[in-house]
Structure 1
Amino acid sequence: MTTIATSSQPVVRTSAGPVRGERRAHGARFLGIPYAQPPVGALRFAAPVPAEPWTDVRDATAYGPTAQRRQLFDVTTIPEPSIPGEDILNLNVFTPDTAPGAGRPVLVWIHGGGFLAGSAASPWYDGDSFNRDGIVVVSIGYRLGIEGFLHLPDAPDNRGVRDWIAALEWVQQNIASFGGDSRKVTIAGQSAGGGAVQTLLATPAARGLFRAAISASGAVMRPQSREAAEAVTRRLSEHTGSPVTAAALENLSDAELLALQDASSSPGTPLALAPFADGRLIPEPVPDALTTGDAGADIPVMLGFTAHEFNAAPQPDATAESLRAVLAALGLDEAGTRAFLETYGGGEPGALQSQAMTDSLFRAPGLAIAEARAMRGRPTWLYEFRLRSTAPGFTGLAHHCTDLPFAFDLLDAEGVTAALGDRPPQHLADAVHAAWTEFIRDLDPGTDWPPYTASQRETRIWDTTPHTDTDPLHRVRAIWCTS
């Protein structure tokens, strides 16, 4: 394997061929490296196939194509560049300035976006600060929406999950050439990316490809059954008036496929196109595997959420009656509804509905995983991010995604001020980033953040003054985990 050159454009030889990157202040970056062939034609709905080898030095100084997608919301917190092209199964490597075989720990980042959107080319995922602290970062692109997750009778299920596994296999084969240690891989992601991390913990085919996991605001929807996935396919067949198969879809344009994707959703079925328990690659629903099964039993896990994930989008037409209906639909019985209203009482129905979504989608499921792992003595660290934004539209909220610039120590990145307001506290970024770095390097985020245990429920609170609290989420647990 080729040593990283001393020039401004270092060259590294991968298993498929040499790539040329660019040197930066804290190392070098190599962008848009294919880990699989472009998923087009007969490969559009196939399992990922290893990239074709090349002999000439391949330029890797610009981000590669990204999966084409719909924007989930009118305004996204994270800048998510959309780059056209077919070679979307690519990844980016950010490495310290070290020689091959240096044995640096590795962070593999899986972007969020509801499994329908997002981009590995976001400036929020730049690995420079981790490089400064001796960590190699790999960010991966993968198939989204219909291409990644629609059940098709003539194609393998969970193709997006297979893409993640293929990228992790590439890391195992190649990361030593970039100064990383394939035995020291931590997978991490936020929102749908956090759900991806949970899914990989529950996927036997991913075992041995990583040693630790970070799930930030992980989103995994129920039901995750094959029957639910087949129902989405039937709905699309009814919409088109013909069977929906890989053969019928493989030659559609991106625009045509996205229009069909719009028809896959229906009221009450968020994340309809997402990983599901197909009985083969993913044997059982991920929440069950992580709370009642043995999935990830020997893997150290850091997980958490923000205090107000979806509270920035209140429902203006909500009423007291509609709030109660939403709480019932989310699984609360009358006692749970009373407890919820007593805990958050006094707010507008729309704001309370948003808090209910925050709790049911993010806080309660994350807490349930921490509880189950603690009961079995599995190494787990839980956090809640509470720093409130001062930005217009988000004032007073610790909302979805706002913990990421602190984890990546990128408070000066594009879009951060719009999400957090002027002068977000650098001392908090120092603390959060240090905890992530220590966890990736040492499998422990530090002595001032003890593991979550069934007796103490120690939880790290990321706020103006970071601290560890004992059972600060007891009301959330009482409302959502016992109702």
Structure 2
Amino acid sequence: MDVEPEIRTAAGVVRGSWESAVVVFRGIRYAEPPIGPRRFLAPIPVRPWDGVRDAREFGPPVPQSSNLGLVMSSVSGDVEDGSEDCLTLNVWSPDLGGANLPVMVWIQGGTYLENNTANPHCDGATLARAAVVVVSMNYRVGMDGFGRITGAPDNRGILDQIAALEWVQHNIAAFGGDPANVTVFGQSAGAASIAALLVMPKAAGLFRRAISQSMPGTYFTPRLADAISTTIAAQLGVRATVSDLARLPPRALTDATTAVIAKLPEFVDIWGPMALTPTPFSPIVDGDVLPCAPWTGVSNGAAHAVDLLIGHTRDEFRLYTSQPGNQPTPEQVAVAFDHLGPGTDGERAYRTAYPDATPSQRFEILNSDWLFRMPSLHLADAAYVGGGPVWFYELAWSFNAEQGASHCLDFLLLFGTLSPDEVRAHRSAHPTAADEIPHVAKRIRADWVSFATTGKPGWAPYDSRTRVTRVYDAEAVTRPYPEQASRRIWSAYRFGTLDLMG
């Protein structure tokens, strides 16, 4: 397999490479570069080209701050300002023939601030060797992708994702994939983007199945998004309009965003609970691009024809609280319960439900619930009400005592990019973790591939009575939903859109 494979796409020929029994095409342009007058507009299809384009290197990242975040910076190093030619995707395929393999399209997370498919922990080769075609894409983030800008459509980052999914429909058969059997799967901001795609008319028919991993429950009203974008633009002395922002380089906007992030908690009485998250961006429920919050649309049947696999990790927020210097102060704990609780006395509810937890631990559980666990559970409930097939899972396995089963661990296992040696080298690694990780990772990967192939991951569907849940630990078990204490606290809460306070 030394011959460099060439594939003719709808726009032109691309040349990839064989790597360990998988053919890889990197950096394929799926839309025209968002530059000049197109910078803040919806993506447009890529123009045809002559000759053969090399597709052996990842495309450059979209504009984003250097080393901004906890996960991507730890594995990617410095991230450059981003290239104009940044809307590219990558394909891993085990068979370029007419195999009609299931297609799995990865939508990466990153707090709506980061997106770089060159991240080595999202390498699709191991997953592709399980007999699926894997696709990943760069999409616009930050102010360019999710800021509310007068004169521009909202949710441009998600419109980029739709453009990539349209490319898959038109081209993936040539790479061995079945365009009628596409599964979108994503984690964190990627999972919330997928939840938005479920209720977006523009995305209808572009995928058959969806996997939502650790979906954050933050969706903004236009009024809240306006206030945030106005504040970011004001850092630069301009208005949040296409005419003003198009004159600024991407780095200016990422720097202004970073400055606002540093003082987000100061806005909590105006911007509400979103000011206690790591990012000022989320999808905007504008009534046009995104017509409603996902829970509303899904419960009304918007996704009834889409097979759904939804879940979260057990210790979601420990990714943040386990970082040095990130232990909450008593004041931060009080503010969190004042603004994130599901009722007027959330702190008492958590003290009752978790009597042995310290205030810091209750802070972590509250944030895990509000930001990731309960939005995911409520989306599964909405899917059940909406009449669509849905399955649920929780990742409980962990390899070290500090982070537990934290946010992001699931995709490292799925892609098989966290090695036993890395696990063994961790300062607080569990004694048996290095021996367990290949088995746990293989089990998750097999279930995801089974779901993408057949629509069934291997356990009973979820319903709002039994709440059957696949729990991944050293051994996978199927049982009722484990986090019953938190579920009861949030049972009467209704997730929707976040608005300005008052």
TM-score higher than 0.5 here?
yes
1:197–1:75: structure 2 CA closer, same or farther, 3 Å change rule? closer
Aligned ranges for residues 23-62 of structure 1 at < 5 Å? 23-62=18-57
Q: Which runs of 5+ in 2 are unaligned?
A: 269-274, 494-502
1:345 to partner: Cα distance: 2.8
Distance 1:418 1:201, change over 3 A: farther
Q: Is the 8 A contact 1:123 1:413 kept in 2?
A: no
Superposed displacement of residue 382, structure 1 = 0.7
| Counterpart among 300, 312, 330 of residue 293 in structure 1 | 300
For residue 317 of structure 2, the aligned residue among 310, 329, 349 is 310
What is the distance in 2 between the residues matched to 1:354 and 1:418? 26
Q: TM-score, normalized by length of structure 2?
A: 0.88
> What CA distance in whole angstroms lies between the structure 1 residues aligned with 2:69 and 2:256?
18
Give distance in 1, aligned partners of 2:365 and 2:351.
11
SS in 1 for 2:76: coil
Aligned to 1:105: 102
TM-score normalized by structure 1? 0.91
Structure 1 residue 281 corresponds to structure 2 residue 289:
yes
Q: 1:230 aligns with which of 226, 229, 248?
A: 226
2:99 matches 1:88: no
Q: Alpha-carbon deviations, 1:211-268, whole Å to 9, x = none? A: 000010112304x211111122332354444322112222322321212223454324
Alignment of 1:200-211 (within 5 A): 200-211=197-208
Q: Distance in 2 between matches of 1:15 and 1:237?
A: 39
User: Could you tell me which of 131, 135, 143 is aligned with 2:128?
Assistant: 131
2:11 aligns to what?
Answer: 16
Partner of 2:438: 426
Question: Does the CA-based 8 Å contact 2:217-2:370 persist in structure 1?
Answer: no
Deviation at 1:40, TM superposition (A): 1.4
Which deviates further from its counterpart, 243-252 or 31-40?
243-252
C-alpha distance in 2 between matches for 1:218 and 1:373: 14
Partner SS, residue 28 of structure 1: strand
Deviation at 1:201, TM superposition (A): 0.6
State whether residues 12 and 177 of structure 1, in contact with CA within 8 Å, keep that contact through their aligned partners in structure 2: yes
Unaligned runs of 5+ in 1: 1-5
Percent of matched pairs sharing the same residue:
36
Tell me the equivalent position of 2:454.
Answer: 442
Q: Does the alignment pair 1:351 with 2:352?
A: no
* 2-structure distance, mates of 1:252, 1:241: 11
2:454 is the alignment partner of 1:456: no
CA contact under 8 A between 2:115 and 2:139: conserved in structure 1? no
In structure 2, relative to structure 1, the CA distance for the partners of 1:460 and 1:317 (3 Å cut) is: closer
C-alpha separation in 1, matches of 2:368 and 2:320:
11
Paired residues of 1:388 and 1:395 also in contact (CA < 8 A): no
Structure-to-structure mapping, 1:364-443, within 5 angstroms: 364-390=374-400, 395=402, 397-412=404-419, 421=429, 423=434, 424-443=436-455
* Partner SS state of residue 79, structure 1: helix
Q: 1:138 to 1:76 in 2, by over 3 A?
A: closer
Contact 2:27–2:90 (8 Å) recurs in 1: yes
Q: CA deviation at 1:134?
A: 1.2
| Contact 1:194/1:214 (8 A) holds in 2 | yes
TM-aligned CA deviation for residue 76 of structure 1: 4.7
Q: 2:333 maps to what in 1? A: 323
Equivalent residue runs for 1:153-302 within 5 Å: 153-222=150-219, 224-265=220-261, 266-267=264-265, 268=268, 269=275, 270=277, 271-290=279-298, 292-302=299-309
Q: Equivalent residue of 1:327, what SS?
A: helix
Amino acid at match of 1:387: W
The answer (yes or no) to whether the contact 1:411–1:426 under 8 Å persists in 2 is no
Aligned residues: 469
Identify, as 1 or 2, the structure richer in helix. 2
- Which deviates further from its counterpart, 258-267 or 365-374? 258-267
What is the match of residue 3 of structure 1?
none
Q: Structure 2: how far apart are the matches of 1:126 and 1:245?
A: 37
